A and B are shown apart, each in its own frame.
Chain A
């Protein structure tokens, strides 16, 4: 074991190897390792987030469903109420219409009756006039007795 130049040669070789390793070997590999670590962390986090999102979505869906059910029930109830109301209204209207028609008919009947009475009254007056004419013949002054006859017909 003689110490000779080899010891310096070794030191030089060692120095060169370390520099090369530092420049070309270590950074890319540790860089890739760090990048992979980051990727895995991101992946795990994304998975966590997805699970959380899924839970949230499920909860939301359940809530929505519940809400819609409540809404639907309310709508149905409202519709029923409205239907009943419409039916009631229709009944009311029908009754009012019927009343109105009845009243109108009664009024017409009354009017007709009056009209008939009037006509009868006029005819009776005419008949009485013609009867009286026939009885009294020409002796009766039409104009003088018209007033009298009118009074008479009004009493009928």
Chain B
């Protein structure tokens, strides 16, 4: 879409701008018309495209898995059931290998994280201009189809995982136990302030690293696709095909990493020192 009417930087920034709905201090409630306007809306705005795509994909995941779960049989499984079972067993093996406590939440949580993030990442493989172009034809100016390239999406999940870490830490060890864990290690008790500082930073680093790792990977990958799309159309495949094939690995790996780290963090929250 590197046509003469838009410059490269306009094209790139257009592709990296969410469809934001909020209250602009000057023009009131409505969709932001530029990245700058979206930024001016502050916190009380919502990225409609991120929400729609992520919730849509989440519903697709639950619909697809739920459909199989409804007709699931312990006899000879069909093709779909086989596929679902493979995914579930993969997740279950990972959870059983890392998480040694009894908690009915962890495995479904891991499955949701893995499949949902995978599906959201998968949107990255849809050619970068298709969906924004269709949206543009329908009068929607901005459309970012990969929710995981929005730090709000990855951040939302990371915050939820952080909440679970804190919840299970307190539930397993009590407030006192959790505090003790934060203040009495790794150094002896006299270094309490230092320990507390170190551990709190370590604790907060968990959700931040979760969110930014996924966001950074997907954002960078999307950026490469956008840059490739700036090339003349007849040469794009030379770069976009290898990158897309490589990206299949990235999107699966990132979903997997997010899932495994969540399990690891929650297992650590259950560990009593």
Contact = CB atoms under 8 A, between A and B. Distances in A.
A4 B42 contact: yes
A148 interface: no
A133 to B, nearest CB: 135
Contact of A4 (B20, B66, B75, B107): B20
Interface in B185-220: 215, 219
B69 A29 contact: yes
A48 to B, nearest CB: 21
A5 B45 contact: yes
A33 B88 contact: yes
Question: Looking at chain B's contact residues, is the secondary structure mostly helix, strand, loop, or mixed?
Answer: helix
Contact of B73 (A1, A2, A8, A32): A32
Contact of A18 (B72, B84, B108): B108
Interface in A109-139: none
B137 interface: no
Interface stretch (A9-17, A67-75, A95-103): A9-17
A18 B51 CA distance: 16
Contacts of A9: 46, 51, 152, 156
B52 to A, nearest CB: 10
A25 B115 CA distance: 12
A1 B65 CA distance: 32
Contacts of A31: 72
Contacts of A25: 62, 65-66, 69, 108, 111
A28 B55 CA distance: 23
Given A6-B50, A10-B153, A13-B54, A29 B88 contact: yes
B159 A22 contact: no
A147 interface: no
Nearest to A28: B69
A9 B54 CA distance: 10
B35 to A, nearest CB: 8
A29 B84 contact: yes
A33 B89 contact: yes
Contacts of B255: none
A29 B68 contact: yes
Sort chain A's interface into a size bin: 20 to 34
Contacts of B55: 13
Given A9-B51, A9-B156, A14-B156, A26 B150 contact: no
Contact of B51 (A3, A6, A21): A6
A150 interface: no
A39 B75 CA distance: 9
A18 B156 contact: no
Given A4-B41, A32-B74, A33-B88, A14 B112 contact: yes
Contacts of A33: 74, 85, 88-89
Interface of B: 18, 20, 22, 38-39, 41-47, 50-51, 54-55, 58, 61-62, 65-66, 68-70, 72-75, 84-85, 88-89, 92, 104-105, 107-109, 111-112, 116, 147, 150-153, 155-157, 159-160, 163, 215, 219
21 contacts: A1-B151, A2-B20, A2-B38, A4-B43, A7-B159, A9-B152, A10-B152, A11-B159, A11-B160, A11-B163, A21-B109, A21-B112, A22-B109, A24-B69, A25-B62, A25-B65, A25-B111, A26-B107, A29-B88, A32-B85, A36-B75
